[in-house]
Structure 1
Amino acid sequence: MQKISLLAIGSLKESWIRTGCGFYLSRLQRAFDVSVQELPASKEKLPEKQREEESERVFRVLEQCGGEVWLLDEQGDVLTSQQFSAEISKRKDRGTPLTFVVGGAYGFTDAVRHRADHMLSLSAMTLPHELCRLLFFEQLYRASEIMKGSGYHHG
């Protein structure tokens, strides 16, 4: 079973987002070995200091990761659900572990961006990191259903 990890800055505070993430995570376990690792958000006041501190935490974890690293970032590539499914399917066929990373409010430093194998945007709009996690899990579930050929995706 393909290993997919989500590395995220901060914890989920909104109960409706926790519920939604749990909903998709329970379904994803049928298709993937999914794990979530939360890193503490910075308490720094200055945005640049927050970005640096959080990026350093992310970078330390990524140094230990095997497989591919995908940053979820508004500057990333925009894929359709079918294209995303095809990308996941290729890596599943090769047995490539995937780590997706959701940054904090001020994004990533260039060092983290350079460490990433891919950058993926879930929207041209800026999203709160909690909502980004929920959208990511839904799109990953949708990708798994596209791979199976189920009727979930109508696009």
Structure 2
Amino acid sequence: MKITLAAVLSTRSLLEAGGRWFDDYVSRIARYTPCESQAFESEKALLEWIERQQGRTRAYAILFDSRGRQYSSEEFAAQVGRLRDEGTQRVVFAIGPADGWSPAAKQRADLLLSLGLMTLPHQLARVVVAEQVYRAFTILAGHPYHSGH
């Protein structure tokens, strides 16, 4: 399963924010499964990219949205584990534009997921998503990273 951490960002400076922590989690995730980061200037560009990534199977798109489902870290890990065990080839975790996802993007999503009721800046949300994906893989592997929660 290949993981893509994607974000719609209005400027390049946003991409650099939180970079060291974000990059660290991307490299940690890569110990468990291939992982990459992608940034897009528009929602349209992101959705077109997702459609081009489809190989033999459709890319599974998880879009972060304030009105999405809320999972505990354990529930999130279970969802990631199900996708892995079902043979999902590509999972895209995407943080949307500042004004939210369009109805078309929400319709394309396989899962709308919320990071919580509070609004986070894109820079911080990227780090939180990367950390939670890493945490999910450590939970699935029985690694002690999560044991001190």
- TM-score over 0.5 (shorter chain): yes
Deviation at 1:37, TM superposition (A): 1.3
Q: Which residue of 1 aligns with 2:107?
A: 114
| 2:5–2:94 Cα contact (<8 Å) kept | yes
When normalised by structure 2's length, the TM-score is: 0.87
In the alignment, structure 1 residue 24 sits paired with structure 2 residue 16:
no
SS in 2 for 1:107: coil
| 1:36-55 aligned within 5 A | 36-40=37-41, 54-55=42-43
The counterpart of 1:125, out of the listed 102, 105, 118, is: 118
| 2:64–2:112 Cα contact (<8 Å) kept | yes
How many residues are treated as equivalent by the alignment?
139
Q: Which residue of 2 aligns with 1:33?
A: 34
Q: What is the RMSD computed on CA atoms of the aligned residues?
A: 1.3
**After TM superposition, which residue ranges in structure 1, 4 or more long, deviate above 6 angstroms?**
none
Q: Which residue of 1 aligns with 2:70?
A: 78
Once residues 56 and 145 of structure 1 are traced to their aligned partners in structure 2, the CA distance between those partners, rounded to angstroms, is 33
When normalised by structure 1's length, the TM-score is: 0.84
| 2:43–2:101 Cα contact (<8 Å) kept | yes
Q: What are structure 1's unaligned runs of at least 5 residues?
A: 41-53
Q: Which has the higher contact order (CA 8 A, sep 6+)?
A: 2
- Measured against aligned partners, the alpha-carbon deviations of 1:32-81 in whole angstroms (never above 9, x if no partner) come to 111111112xxxxxxxxxxxxx2322222232243211101111100000
- Measured against aligned partners, the alpha-carbon deviations of 1:71-110 in whole angstroms (never above 9, x if no partner) come to 0111110000000000001111122121111112111110
| 2:2–2:33 Cα contact (<8 Å) kept | yes
Q: Which residue of 2 aligns with 1:50?
A: none
Letter aligned with residue 73 of structure 1: D
Q: What are structure 2's unaligned runs of at least 5 residues?
A: none
Task: Say which one has the larger Rg.
Answer: 1
Greater mean alpha carbon deviation, residues 76-85 or residues 55-64: 55-64
Once residues 92 and 129 of structure 2 are traced to their aligned partners in structure 1, the CA distance between those partners, rounded to angstroms, is 12
Once residues 113 and 59 of structure 1 are traced to their aligned partners in structure 2, the CA distance between those partners, rounded to angstroms, is 11
| 1:60-75 aligned within 5 A | 60-65=48-53, 66-75=58-67
| 1:58–1:112 Cα contact (<8 Å) kept | no
| 1:3–1:34 Cα contact (<8 Å) kept | yes
